[in-house]
Amino acid sequence: DQQVKQNSPSLSVQEGRISILNCDYTNSMFDYFLWYKKYPAEGPTFLISISSIKDKNEDGRFTVFLNKSAKHLSLHIVPSQPGDSAVYFCAASARLNYGGSQGNLIFGKGTKLSVKP
Amino acid sequence: DSGVTQTPKHLITATGQRVTLRCSPRSGDLSVYWYQQSLDQGLQFLIQYYNGEERAKGNILERFSAQQFPDLHSELNLSSLELGDSALYFCASSISRTGSAYGYTFGSGTRLTVV
């Protein structure tokens, strides 16, 4: 049972345009959501996060939007650059104990973003 | 360099064998997490240790075990290896007991190939 879903395995975008990566979750107990970026042969690196009390968080070219009623979040990258080409993982956590996760990060399967020059 | 060190980077072994993966957390971090990434799969949480004690278990097989030592480094032991155990194994660390807005810091992973 996947609690965090990234339904698009891949996304291709032209340099300078907007990249939108989507993520859905099923567990209403999640109260923090994070995006990680992963280059080949490297570990995932933290990109941006959002608390469930907010609906938007912005950091430079990266903005994360949260729609709690739809249990959906998205990561917008504007403008997209070739160096943004990587796999992006959506992750969620619940501060309160929930089943076996106990506050640990639950990851989606990732979306591979390719930004073409 | 994230500050989380994983060794070895690559490991090739035969079915039925036993291997040990090692992780040194970032300085000051008390929690160590182990994740498995198989082909076309996301990061599957295996187990967490906080300050030497097991804190949470995820989808970890009985053939797998882990521990965290007094110096806070951790080892993941994989035994009776099967072809399906071939994967990237990531270690991550954090200062707190739980995931939060600050997330975890990941190492660069150990690629295990079982032949």
Q: What is the pLDDT of residues B12-22, one digit of tens each?
A: 999 999 999 99
Q: What is the pLDDT of residues A63-92, one digit of tens each?
A: 999 999 999 999 999 999 999 999 999 999
More confident residue, B2 or B26: B26
A45 touching B (Cβ < 8 Å): yes
Q: Any idea of the CA torsion for A95, B67, B76, A96, to the nearest 10 degrees?
A: -10
Q: Which amino acid is at B43?
A: L
CB contact under 8 A, A44 and B43: yes
Q: DSSP class of residue B98?
A: S
CB contact under 8 A, B97 and A42: no
Token pair, residue A37, equals 């970026």
Residue of B nearest to A88 (CA): B42
Smallest CA–CA separation between A6 and chain B, in Å?
A: 10
Q: Give the A:B interface size as CB pairs under 8 Å.
A: 82
Please report, for residues A11, A88, B35, B64, the alpha-carbon distance to residue A108 in angstroms, rounded to integers and kept in the order given: 15, 9, 13, 23
CB contact under 8 A, A43 and B57: no
A22 neighbors A44 (Cβ within 8 angstroms) = no
Q: What is the pLDDT of residue A94?
A: 78
